[in-house]
Amino acid sequence: MLPPLRTLLDGLIDYAGLFPPAALAMPEAVLNYAAYRTGPDRWALGRFVVTAERLPEFERAADGLAVPGDPWLLSVLVGANDAGQVEAARAFHARHVALGDARADVLEGRAVGAATIAALAAAARPEFTLFVEVPTDPDPAPLIEAIGAAGVRAKIRTGGVTADAFPAAAQVARFLAACIRAGVPFKATAGLHHPIRAVYPLTYAPDATRGTMFGYLNVFLAAALLHAGGSEADATQLLEETRLGAFSFSDHGVTWDGYRLTLADLAETRRLALGVGSCSFDEPLDDLVTAGLR
């Protein structure tokens, strides 16, 4: 794999197989994650994403698969005002750190106001790294500034299983620009199963509605462009780019529309652009083969 793609994808994909559109049963999702952890693409694998209320179910399904000395990494979704879920994650984390077979030291929550962000951040300390999902409309910059002030991280939802779940490219660019300006690390989730923006089925059903989905390369290269000093307008254009041939990858970086992003640019961006949640781990990587990038 070319170095810029390796840099962009290293540890990028948090496996969210429990969530739509895959919506797998816990045993199947756990077995998939176990296989990915030992497969040739482990280098691209991030965390197993699970809700706090399903942690006991995860424990039963992972018994015998997660072994001491090579801990599974979990990201736990918690309710914005549910201290009990945070405490459940804390107890799970402490128990499995002692066993050496899992670490659930990342939480993901949702907030619509600065007070919620502060409360979530306080509940998460000191064990957890916290991602706070914020709406893309209205302008999320004030919430992202609050996230930065709280010392936590941001999260954007870039799609879903219906067309109206996808924000406009300009809204995504605005979120990315706000994170870059504030120095706030972030992750993206939903609707990012494919490398390049195009029209795809929104679910895995045979009669699935089709819609325009963002490509994860579009999103993370737009972040890199902004980090390298590009404009928000150009980042919006990059997010809307559907021509694979518009991107030129080499051993030294990637170029698009006159912009040249070096490996150093991409590596610096990845210090802020931390991951993508995807209900499929295979599809984002297999699509690189189809796209002629792997």
pLDDT: which is higher, 289 or 37: 37
Instruction: Look at residue 3 in the predicted model and tell me its pLDDT.
Output: 95
The angle formed by the CA atoms of residues 37, 41 and 44, to the nearest 5 degrees, is 90
**pLDDT tens-digit profile of 255-269?**
999 999 999 999 999
Model confidence at 11, in pLDDT bands (50, 70, 90)? very high
Model confidence at 243, in pLDDT bands (50, 70, 90)? very high
pLDDT (mean) for 271-291: 94
| pLDDT for residue 145 is more than 80 | yes
**pLDDT tens-digit profile of 54-111?**
999 999 999 999 999 999 999 999 997 778 999 999 999 999 999 999 999 999 999 8
Averaged pLDDT score across all residues of the chain: 96
pLDDT (mean) for 123-140: 96
Instruction: Look at residue 277 in the predicted model and tell me its pLDDT.
Output: 97
Structure tokens at 218: 């579009």
Instruction: Look at residue 291 in the predicted model and tell me its pLDDT.
Output: 80
Instruction: Look at residue 112 in the predicted model and tell me its pLDDT.
Output: 81
Instruction: Look at residue 134 in the predicted model and tell me its pLDDT.
Output: 96
| pLDDT for residue 292 is more than 90 | no
* CA proximity to 144, closest of 185, 105, 192: 185
| pLDDT for residue 5 is more than 80 | yes
Separation of alpha carbons 80 and 94, rounded Å: 22
| CATH label, 3-284, candidates 2.20.25, 3.40.109, 1.10.1660, 3.20.20 | 3.20.20
Secondary structure (3-state) at 254: strand
Contacts (Cβ under 8 Å, ≥6 apart) of 168: none
Phi and psi angles of residue 41, each rounded to the nearest 5 degrees, phi first: -105, 20
| pLDDT for residue 290 is more than 90 | no
Model confidence at 294, in pLDDT bands (50, 70, 90)? confident
Model confidence at 293, in pLDDT bands (50, 70, 90)? confident
- What is the pTM for the complete model shown? 0.96
DSSP string, 19-77: STTT---HHHHHHHHHHHHHSTTGGGEEEEEEEGGGHHHHHHHHTTTS-TTS-EEEEEE
